[in-house]
Structure 1
Amino acid sequence: MRCLILRIDIEPTVNGPRINIPDFMELTSASMGDVHGLDFIDNETLAVANRDGLVAILALPHGEPAGRSHEVAPLRQIKGGMFCRLKSPGSIAVKQEANGNVSLLICNNYTHVVTRHVVNRWLGYRATRNQRLLKRGLDIPDGVAVSRDGAWIAVSSHNTADVKIYRMSDSLGPATEPDGILRDANYPHGVRFTADDQHILVADAGSPMLHVYDRGAGWHGHHMPRSVAVLDEETFLRGRANPEEGGPKGLDIDRSNSVVAVTCEEQILTFFPLASIVGEQVPRPEHDLVRI
């Protein structure tokens, strides 16, 4: 399998952000198999989750991308502990901790559990702690995200058609009930908090929609979305092999909190201004800038 790294430049303009992709790099590795999720630990290090294997920690090659293709060996492969083995790892979220530690929150799709693995940079990303973190009510956890303030975890649950919200605490465990639930998504997949933690965006693999949930007075209780179409009907129906497919899956927000990136098999990569997603205007993909 391969991983495509894109350099993306975002320029603010009076008509919204303009996007340019001036460079790219292609990574291959024996540690990458059925890649499902990935997240940056920092600008030079990537964590990659393989549904058919383990989680690989990869160092990006030095220098400009320059369209290069690189075979890289993993710095470390995370397999879990004796009582917390990784199995079918899918989506992954990185949470920065103190003293050079990083928490990897990993959705183990087909064992229906989110595990936490604390790794230490200075020990070559060795896992110093492995724990089963969340399980109650999850049925194929497909996406995971941590709020910018580190206080909340959002986990999309494929077969229960919702996203469960948990307050981060030392008492979290497999029996912990969610503090809040985001409703009315067919098959929720990718999930992201906006930078101000006032909204959660959810990609719905079972519809052409991206759902927007407002925090309001807090993330406790049940929340219903505003929904915006990010695929046209023709593109959606082309990927509609079954009721669980056809819609957007991958989802991210850039660090400037101005652009939303959406992916699916039929529409590999499309960008939208975040303001058009969380606001009330109709979103328009930046087709004149890039659609990969």
Structure 2
Amino acid sequence: MDIEPSELTKREALMQALAEKFAQSAVLKREWLSRVDFGFGTERIIDTSKGIWNPSAYAATLTIISDPQSEYDDGDHDDFLYRYSYEKRPAGQDPRGGSNAKLRDAMRLRLPVIMLRKVDKGQFVPIMPVYVIKDEPENQRFLLTLDESLRFLTDPAVLSPEERRYAERTTRQRLHQPVFRARILDAYERQCAVCTLKKAPLLDAAHITEDSFEHGVPVVTNGMALCKIHHAAYDEKILGISPDYVVHINPDVLAEVDGPMLKHGLQEMDRRPLLLPARRHDHPDRDRLAARFDAFKDAG
């Protein structure tokens, strides 16, 4: 089966629409995914009951759902690929058939697929594009890559050390960081923990223990929702947050005289209590804050 050029165009237009919506809202809700207008009429782009969505007008699978809490053995594979289990088939039927057949077609036709990573009930983060690069019927699963370049290798599961480092970094950036941001912004009700700005496109999920460190895991207690200026100030040690959840500004910066941005955006934040999530178990980890605050004080 060959594909019409318009199919790839439609997939690209859909990914653009999802990216724009995600930038504005930090999460995609099932209700919205059920009626998406991306320039070709309104379409449902998520299945109502299954994890693989194969609309009849498309040559191959359009979207797949990844649910960390599901019964399927989905997840990272060697830190740079993603395994996606076959959809379960009735006893006696070929496990390669059904919805799995069209996901295999996506591999054969080299078509991009959209992964909808579930972060809460009816809430998803788009991971895109992903490519099906290997079918493992013996394990009843597919292997997917989030890095377009890997799909052209003879065996994407076997990489050189340099290729592996690159692929691991790409997987971390494209899979774990968007999910981390969605969970952080949800915990902080989409507002900056320092200044309470409520503009989602201007909010970041800031790590407390940096993600480049061994223990810089993407969990809510290792993050805070910060607007871009306060995130940058935190990374540059202009702004610090003590383990008692109080904001501090570098003394040298407090002594500076500049324009209104410095005065209202930074200096007036000094000694301000940090906005905390409503759920106590989402509060920033005090030990992580203490270690980061020590570095802030040393820099000052």
Give the TM-score, by structure 2 length: 0.24
Higher relative CO (Cα under 8 Å, sequence separation at least 6) belongs to 2
Identify the structure with the greater strand proportion. 1
Between Structure 1 and Structure 2, which shows a larger proportion of helix residues? 2
